[in-house]
Amino acid sequence: MRNRGRLLLILGPLILLLGGGGAAYFLFFSKRPAKAAPQERTCELTLSDLTVNLADTARPHYLSASVSLVLKGVDPEAVVEDHESGARDAVIMVMTQHTYADLLSAEGKETLKSDIAAAVEDALSEGRLVVEEVMFTSFLMD
């Protein structure tokens, strides 16, 4: 019985030490799958029936347009739902800064698109969305 007691006294801590070492190895050195980054998605925001006075001073001109924006980010639908009015306001403010003569040329329309993209990104900066594309679905000036 004495030999058995000594054997347990020696083997007991040895088994605990080996088991603890194995557990430590498993916890610290086993490869865990990395957490997947949230997937970015795109959504389209359509702003219809935007009518503004242009920045002309000699003769009043107006622009009536509908704009579709392709937005990219994490959960863009939720951001758009919460901030659509801010995006609409940003587009209107940019449109009113241009003149009739500016917007007659294709280059002027492209400048307006890039200005709109920058303003909308700024308005939706809280949601970290990127404007991938600005498209005019209607564009009428007088």
Same domain, 73 and 3: no
List Cβ neighbours of 80 (8 Å cut-off, separation of 6 or more). Answer: 43, 45, 71, 87, 124, 127, 129
**Per residue in 61-86, pLDDT tens?**
999 999 999 999 888 888 888 888 99
| CATH assignment of the domain containing 109 | 3.30.479.30
Using alpha carbons, list the distances in angstroms from residue 5 to 8, 12, 136, 142: 5, 10, 88, 103
For residue 74, what pLDDT is reported?
86
Q: For the chain, how long is the longest CA-to-CA vector?
A: 113
**Is there a single domain that holds both residue 88 and residue 47?**
yes
**Which among 116, 52, 123 is positioned nearest to 87, based on CA atoms?**
123
**Digit-coded pLDDT (tens) for 9-30:** 666 777 777 777 777 777 777 6
In terms of residue numbers, what domain contains 75?
41-141
For 62, the enclosing helix (H) or strand (E) is strand 62-73
Q: How many domains does the chain have?
A: 2
Q: Residue 83 has what pLDDT?
A: 86
Does 16 share its domain with 65? no
CA Rg value for the chain: 32
C-alpha to C-alpha distance for 94 and 96, rounded to whole angstroms = 5
pLDDT at residue 25, as a whole number: 72
Residue 44 β-bridge partners: 70
Same domain for 91 and 24? no
Same domain, 100 and 134: yes
Same domain, yes or no: 135 and 78:
yes
Q: Judge if 45 and 78 occupy the same domain.
A: yes
Residues 64, 22, single domain; the answer is: no
Same domain membership, residue 53 and residue 95: yes
